[in-house]
């Protein structure tokens, strides 16, 4: 792994998968963050973990040195495991409303999907190389690129995501 140039150092919280998961879970609990992420996922095919990674980097005041070079195995994992599990979970939604057994199965699939998302997050950090960022002006551009947002509604969702993140960051400082 490359040397990481961060204020936390290579062994700091930036590369701590558990800290990233906790941070992402805290942010995703915010309805504005979750809504923007889900909109970008459904409308543009964005990977929510990449969006959350962008916010994680902004939180640490760093920028990915080579955003295009993020771990390929995380991409493969997302397509081979996370997306199919999400599809199964969504397909069972209606039946789960009236059948307790189906609801229990759907909950197990959701647990597996979340476990897959957590592994994906860890793999995103594996080969991450970063550079210091003077501010977060890069964030909107990077999130827009990673999300594939082009339509006005999608660009507005990126803006809403950054605005909600900024609000949360301001509260925690």
On whether the pTM is more than 0.75, the answer is: yes
- Where in the sequence is the domain holding 166, given as residue range(s)? 1-69+128-173
Residues 77 and 117 in one domain: yes
Query: Is residue 79 domain-shared with residue 164, that is, in the same domain?
Result: no
What's the mean pLDDT in 16-45?
A: 94
* C-alpha to C-alpha distance for 154 and 39, rounded to whole angstroms: 7
Q: What secondary structure letter does DSSP report for 61?
A: T
Task: Give the number of domains in the chain.
Answer: 2
| Burial 18-37, CB ≥16 within 10 A → b, else e | ebbbebbeebbebebbeebb
Tell me the C-alpha distance between 75 and 134, whole Å: 29
Predicted confidence at residue 2, as pLDDT, reads: 36
Q: Quick one: 2 and 58 in the same domain?
A: yes
Q: Are 97 and 12 within one domain?
A: no
63 phi and psi angles, rounded to 5 deg: -130, 145
Q: Is residue 116 within 8 Å of 77, Cβ to Cβ? A: yes
Statement to judge: residues 57 and 86 lie in one domain:
no
Residue with token string 């040195």: 65
Choose among 68, 75, 67, 64: nearest CA to 4.
64
- For 84-140, the pLDDT digits (tens) are 999 999 999 999 999 999 999 999 999 999 999 999 999 888 878 888 876 677 888
The pLDDT of residue 10 is above 70: no
Same domain, 82 and 60: no
Per-residue pLDDT tens for 55-79?
Answer: 999 888 888 887 777 767 888 899 9
Half-sphere exposure of 79 (CA within 13 A, CB side): 5
């Amino acid at each position: 792994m490359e040397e990481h140039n961060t204020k936390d150092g290579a062994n700091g919280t930036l590369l701590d998968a558990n800290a990233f998961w906790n941070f992402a879970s805290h942010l995703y609990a915010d309805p504005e963050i979750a809504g923007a992420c889900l909109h970008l996922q459904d409308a543009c095919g964005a990977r929510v973990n990449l969006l959350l990674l962008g916010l994680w980097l902004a939180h640490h005041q760093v920028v990915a040195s080579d955003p295009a070079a993020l771990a390929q195995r995380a991409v493969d994992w997302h397509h081979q495991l996370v997306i199919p599990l999400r599809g199964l979970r969504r397909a069972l939604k209606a039946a789960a409303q009236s059948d307790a057994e189906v609801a229990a199965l759907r909950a197990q699939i959701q647990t597996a999907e979340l476990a897959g998302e957590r592994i994906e997050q860890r793999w995103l950090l594996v080969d991450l190389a970063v550079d210091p960022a003077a501010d977060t002006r890069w964030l909107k551009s990077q999130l827009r690129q990673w999300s594939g947002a082009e339509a006005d509604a999608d660009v507005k969702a990126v803006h809403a995501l950054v605005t909600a993140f900024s609000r949360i960051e301001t509260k925690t400082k």
